[in-house]
A and B are shown apart, each in its own frame.
Chain A
């Protein structure tokens, strides 16, 4: 019996050892840092890491905006494009509602830019390692301010009053916010672009296109000039535009003016090989990968897909077509005409397309009634680069999306802003500096120089130059309402089978807040409040 007792004691001791060893490493056992993702505390330790921290803010965050909404709003809404596709046609008849799916996508995308920019603005300086040079940090912060300003510039122009958020974490515990007044949002935009100007590196855009990809001090000045123009602060707009012009940072692709890069053309702007050319001020840098939502859908959304002939790798296409109104916009000698719109019979030597089961290069645009289901009688050329074709088009992803850049701003836009700023709200001008800028754009388009320019001419020049690039809706939004309503009310918004006319009302110029967010925060529908800077 004694032996039994000893053995029992030994057992209990053994059990105690087992238990104590288990407890001793308990804390390690349940410490499982992520094996598949870097934590934000471990990043931003080298110059290279800080530089790449902003890469995705040039495409990933913009995807849902650019995918369809940008065009469904600014091009269909402005009467440049026609579509009868149920998901993107609401603005054709000014009947968009708060449950519009693409509007929600666009809203999310712009706020994603704000959120990501805020993250860097509030954390980067603190998280950056000692080995990171301050200039690299500053440039990344400058990019963040630039993106936040650009996102808000769209938000305020599309929805009017929106909440001003400068640190998302401040609102997590109290997410129901009021909107802020339009003038406060513009104040934030001006401040942010100004910060960007101070922080961003200077650049001169050269022939090494890859180096041009990211924004510079000049990009921020150009965007701020546009903001001033919208605010009718012509003097500041002019000063900034001139700074940009005088810096020589940007050039026009093609033409024979002082600003031109000869040997290139307007068409080269919209090729994959033209990504980040000398004219690009700010462009989205698509980079397709194995995940949906990294590349540009325009090649499929635009172009031709009639069931036999297709300019896209997707099984659908040509969701947007040109409006009947824009078909007559261009003079026949305008170089931009056939590079913006595919008219029947046009020939595009470098477009690869599918004809039945065969692939061919060199597209002759079919007859008007054989272009596709939209019944537009023509198709959109800009941003259509055809079926994937090696270095000519770059790669295509699994959703037939491609890597051709999307312009948010290019030099031609800035030159026209410059001219308009000099005009300063008058009906016309013959100021030589203004004419020089307008005529440089016209020269590249193959058009004769003007000796004086009216506002209406300048306004039309902007539409011709920037058609399908997401600008005309916003231009219409900044001129007197009655004038904009008259312009749109006179547009044929139907297709080749029938003319249709719709007249917008005052409240069609801002969109409703998405239903999903109103359900989470009904305060969005209350009157905006002032923001305390």
Chain B
């Protein structure tokens, strides 16, 4: 079978060839195929759950799968679907890491599985796989906007959501496949869970026209207390002798000065947004359709930011012959986002905190002001930057999926699915020429960053259904090939004749760089579902994946191949005869489930098995030809219970072990010389170690029925514990650094074996040296004897000095548990719902506060608490003395900057009114609903930063819960209308 190398079947034409054969041969044999159950027929009987390459009735499911329906999401108004899942699904942790419209969120299905870039789940949108990785780590590795994602050297560009092109209103249902017995069928890509999104299709009956529209107002509601001009002048005067500068004459009498500029107040706006969506749907005997178009215009809460999005979709399903069904989902999304300046440390948010209040926004002549001459600061006028710098991102997505499904003979179906997905994005960044005195840009600069990618996916599925008496079988055989290609290019131009019109051809000087790439994945899989009498059920599956990420030649190509088995079973106790004495209106359903499965992860940069040269002809990486699949093994035990026909309970316990997880080896710099960006040789990727997530999740829901007041509620509870079990080569820990002060890399997390991933690392604060008596016998601290007003750290190893060896674990970013609680009340035509979400037990490293209290740089504004610095006149101070160096031990990372991150948030509250149907029909409507809604209305937390919901820095799990300058999530009020004709 191997190597029948037909030239026609070169990899590139393989998909086409398979399609050709499929189409040419199938119809011939299908003439006499038996008429099967019409899959288009609506089954209103029971909830159907998508299980991957098929679907099952909820009651038949053996695995841990949670579902969210359109109605559960209808009042949560977010740009992107991923944001809407927050608190809705047990076992799924969603955190927004930025309040920017369309920014990526971090989604964790059952904790942290891998420490490699991608912990995001796989999305399957109408059968089309889309990686949740917003950083493109396994493709281009570049952000769509900005230069790079690194937490150390880069611009800290915000990752944009990979599925923000999808209009949430088009979604019919979302099924989250959580345990490995369910996701094993997705094999290599299922390790982080799979989120299957099904879009709407037309319902049989009269055609329907639906309109949904809302308008909203969002506003930043929290500001940090920064120094007023008077306080700033006092602080500057105190710092002058520390830095050996003169006291500035204008600050000679701080008491005469006013408030100055609070830059936070200058860059936020009330953001008004509107969203409209129109859909047409309907169905007749053999055909149904759903066509929709949507428009979103969302302003950001930062001036001159926002996003516009246009979406369209056409879903059509048809029965062509009694034995042949076909259908297509075609959708597109176009978005245009304005970021102005990026929101990293060197970006806008941090600048509003650190820019001095002595600078007005505008000069008296109306031009933008800039810092006084001679200050050598990197801080800029945030308003000027926001208004004058252009940074926009245009994305164009097309996604199409066509299928044909034929009955070959009774019970046997063949399904062919072809899908293609592409995105074109263009990021335009333009810095106009300006001269504001001390700050200027002599020549205007333009960067055009284009990237595009496409992927094709072909699936051949054979499904066989058969029943003999009480025995029911479903057998699935499948083949899938995924082929992705991408390229990016960056052109930069400098020197433009005008700030108004700029194109590359006008630049005095231009440079360009770019790269192409591709990857592929070839898979075969099989699944058997066996059911006996509705009482016992077993699902077994296996998938073989072959990935281009691993060495095709070494080890006979075996490193490329992974096998991923899964098996699960269930026992529905209530079907047993011995349970029949219990009336069904007491316990209608009790089912126990157990499963085991393996999945894999291969999302690493390309060609890490080979030694590649950089553009400077230097080797850029240490290669590892032995690289192979990361395996994730999961055991799941669960139970479902339905009581009184209204109370549903689901419980799942799991133990999830990632073995040989893929990661770049954390080698010391003396072996790598730093990154290849500066001529070092990047650490090899390796199958580095083992990690475990163990936890449980509970979902309960209750619903009252009948006339008058009805109530439905849903509570979910998620708890997991993450532990690093082992590392190869006797390595003991994995460190990760963040950029302090924007460019100073400092280790912030250090995960030791036996501890959770991303544990905070630093010194233990023991107060200040306040008196000479304190200083007696004070240990030498990083090579220098402490003086009065310095921080006293714990000498943990007792060697009489404070150094690196006294650093320890100082916090845990993982919550003890998270929960979501939603309630909907209906009385006649009025509905009221609210949704509460929360997180308990996690720590936050507040580096924004560190920056705001460091008292180590001139001309930098600080938080008000920084004024309480130690001096001989203020020996009871809360902050150490003023210093002149940013690497001083006083401001090293310590538990001084770690805070509790617990919060409870009223995420959403909505009040709606539906016009009585007799009234509605008088105005030719079948439905009219008006609602008002508020999001993020109330947060209870002790956290002192903008927002306790931190997430992971650009989805990097080693940098979770670290607040280093974050776009605050606004409070939003919404008024909306739903109309059906």
Q: Of residues B10, B18, B733, B783, which shows the largest number of chain A Cβ atoms within 10 Å of its Cβ?
A: B783
Chain A residues whose CB sits within 8 angstroms of the CB of B460 once the complex forms: 18-19
Binds A, one of B168-176, B381-389, B671-679: B671-679
B205 on interface, CB distance cutoff 8 Å:
no
Interface residues contributed by chain A, number (CB under 8 Å): 124
Contacts A35-B516, A36-B516, A307-B372; A101 near B18 (Cβ below 8 A): no
Q: Of B10, B610, B678, B731, which one neighbours A25 at CB under 8 angstroms?
A: B10
Nearest A residue to B674 via CB reads A108
Contacts of A115 in B (CB 8 A): 671-673, 680-681
Question: Are A21 and B4 in contact, with the CB atoms below 8 A?
Answer: yes
B355 to chain A, nearest CB (A): 15
- Surface stretch bound by A, among B634-642, B691-699, B803-811: B803-811
Contact between chains at B552 and A86 (CB < 8 Å): no
B681–A119 touching, CB < 8 Å: yes
Report the bound CA distance from A235 to B674 in whole Å. Answer: 38
Determine whether A456 belongs to the interface, using a CB cutoff of 8 Å to chain B. no
8 Å CB contact of A319 from B376, B737, B750? B376
Q: How far is the CB of A46 from chain B (nearest CB, A)?
A: 12
Contact call B681/A168, Cβ cutoff below 8 A: yes
Q: Is the CB of A174 within 8 A of B729?
A: yes
B611 near A41 with CB under 8 A, answer: yes
Mask: chain A, 365-383; 1 = CB below 8 Å from B; 0 = not: 0000000110100000000
Q: Which of A89-97, A186-194, A259-267, A434-442 interfaces with chain B?
A: A89-97
B25 pairs with A64, CB closer than 8 A: no
Residue on A with the closest CB to B557?
A27
A318 to chain B: closest residue by CB: B376
State in angstroms the CA–CA spacing of A14 and B511 once bound together. 53
Q: Please tell me if B409 contacts chain A, counting CB pairs below 8 Å.
A: yes
Q: Is A468 an interface residue (CB 8 A)?
A: no
CA distance A289 to B746 in the complex (A): 28
User: Cβ of A519 < 8 Å from any Cβ of B?
Assistant: yes
In the complex, B435 has a CB within 8 A of chain A: yes
- Among A31, A38, A100, which residue has its beta carbon within 8 angstroms of that of B887? A100
In the complex, what's the smallest C-beta–C-beta distance from B503 to chain A, in angstroms?
18
- Encoded as 1 (CB less than 8 Å from any A CB) or 0, chain B from 481 to 501 comes to 101000000101010000000
Is A116 a contact partner of B25 (Cβ separation < 8 A)? no
Considering only residues 714-747 of chain B, those with a C-beta below 8 Å from chain A are 728-731, 733, 735, 737, 740-741, 743-747
Which residues does chain A contribute within 8 Å of B35, judged by CB atoms?
none
CB <8 Å contact, B244 and A7: no
Nearest-Cβ distance from residue A122 to partner chain B, whole angstroms: 11
Q: Determine which of B4, B6, B735 lies in contact with A516 in the assembled complex, contact meaning CB atoms within 8 Å.
A: B735
Chain B residues with CB under 8 Å of A64's CB are 674, 678
Kindly state the separation between the CA atoms of A11 and B406 in the bound complex, as whole angstroms.
12
Chain B proximity mask over A239-272: 1 for CB below 8 Å, otherwise 0: 0000000000000000000000000000000000
Minimum Cβ distance to chain B for residue A117 (Å): 10
Task: Report which of B245, B408, B441, B494 forms a contact with A84, defined as CB distance below 8 A.
Answer: B245
B376 touches A305 (CB 8 A): yes
Docked pose: A22 CA to B518 CA in angstroms:
19
Partner of A290, one of B373, B511, B612, B614: B511
How many angstroms between the C-alpha atoms of A85 and B438 in the bound complex?
A: 17
| Chain A 496-533: CB-based contact to B (< 8 A → 1; otherwise 0) | 01101000000110001011111111100100000000
Interface centre among B373, B617, B730, B761 (most CB of A within 10 A): B617
The yes or no answer to A23 lying at the interface (CB within 8 A) is yes
The reply to whether B375 and A112 contact each other, CB–CB distance below 8 Å, is no
Is there a chain A Cβ closer than 8 Å to B28's Cβ? Answer: yes
Most buried by B among A8, A61, A307, A525: A307
- Contact between B32 and A97, CB atoms less than 8 A apart: no
A459 within 8 A of B: no
Q: Which of A52-60, A200-208, A212-220, A425-433 contacts B (4 or more CB under 8 A)?
A: A52-60
A111's partner among B22, B520, B673 (CB-CB below 8 A) is B673
Asked if A519 and B674 sit within 8 Å, CB to CB, the answer is no
Task: Judge whether A113 is part of the interface by a CB distance below 8 angstroms.
Answer: yes
- Within 34-49 of A, Cβ neighbours of B (below 8 Å) are at 34-41, 43, 49
Q: B803 and A98: CB pair below 8 A?
A: yes
Pick the contact of A37: B3, B552, B620 (CB < 8 A). Answer: B620
**Contacts A22-B18, A112-B673; is A289 near B679 (CB within 8 Å)?**
no
The verdict on B84 contacting chain A, using a C-beta distance below 8 Å, is: no
List chain A residues, Cβ under 8 A from B741.
87, 101
Which B residues lie at the A interface, using CB under 8 A? 1-6, 9-11, 14, 17-18, 21-22, 24-26, 28-32, 153, 243-246, 372-378, 408-409, 414, 435, 437-442, 445, 460, 462, 479, 481, 483, 490, 492, 494, 511-513, 515-522, 546-548, 552, 557, 560, 606-607, 610-614, 616-620, 622, 665-674, 677-681, 684, 728-731, 733, 735, 737, 740-741, 743-747, 750, 761, 782-784, 803-805, 807, 856-858, 884-889, 892
Query: What would 25 A/B residue contacts be, using CB atoms closer than 8 Å?
Result: A3-B32, A18-B460, A21-B4, A23-B2, A35-B515, A38-B613, A60-B618, A60-B679, A61-B679, A64-B678, A85-B376, A97-B782, A97-B783, A97-B784, A97-B892, A115-B673, A115-B680, A116-B618, A119-B619, A162-B670, A173-B728, A291-B513, A372-B376, A517-B668, A520-B735
